Amino acid sequence: MNAPLAVSESTLHDQVRDEGFAFVQGDAMRGLVSHIAPLADWDTFAASWNALEPDTYLAATGRFRRRRHAVFAASRFGHVEPRPHQAHFQTLAYNTLQGDIARWFAPVLPEIAGGATMSAILDFCRDIFGGLSPTVETWHVEVHQFRIEATAGVAGEPTPEGSHRDGVDYVLVLLVDRENIASGTTTIHTPDGRPLGEFTLTRPLDAALIHDPRVFHGVTPVTPLDASKASHRDVLVVTFRAA
């Protein structure tokens, strides 16, 4: 693989503005986020995916994943502040599988939600997404920790709702860990289905930034490389919606 090209916030800003999405390799993403603040607790942050809870709503459809959820508020020039734990809600227009349901998930652990890595990632998102929408004064921010597991004969579904939009303004999808997993390719489409790009998040901090009103995104099912061993795909998803 070629060495990752240098990436600046200006480059990402222009790419998301012009194309509706951007892919950032992990080394470049680490540099961008660490420029805001050191990822001092990264190991603890990544290990917290081992403590995610089953998504009981998805289990009702015969599927399986683990997750935790948190809500924040961000102002254009201020810090990203935590908000009381609340339900996650999407309309059927954006989630035909589980729309129009107020879904309560286990909260992100306090030490993770308020830790150095999460804070740096959220501040990075505030700067990038705020720069793309400079007239927005405040943002409603949601954070989702996801673990998708795959077993022999049963593929894991990172996006069980298929190619979709989230009903927000901007989305960050950031890979935290990938163990014994094949596939899991992120696909980007126009609303009428025309493919715009695809890439696979394979290394920690590989990331996708998405302008949600403009493009659809999805991830292909994942399967274990070695069926005799445990496998998982851990991602952090951050959404920003104008409050």
Residues 12, 140, 165, 201, Cα dihedral to 10° = 50
Average model confidence (pLDDT) across the chain:
89
Residues 202, 149, 84, 74, Cα dihedral to 10° = 20
CA separation for the pair 115, 80 (Å, rounded):
12
Q: For the chain, what percent of residues have pLDDT higher than 90?
A: 69
- pLDDT tens digits, residue range 147-165? 998 887 778 877 667 788 8
Reading the chain (243 residues) residue by residue, the pLDDT tens digits are: 333 345 888 999 999 999 999 999 999 999 999 999 999 999 999 999 999 999 887 755 546 789 999 999 999 888 899 999 998 766 666 555 565 587 789 999 999 999 999 999 999 999 999 999 999 999 999 999 999 988 877 788 776 677 888 899 999 999 999 999 988 999 999 999 899 999 999 999 999 999 999 999 999 988 899 989 989 999 999 999 999
pTM of the model: 0.90
- pLDDT tens digits, residue range 161-185? 778 888 999 999 999 999 999 889 9
Return the HEC string of 201-219. CCCCCCEEEEECCCCEEEE
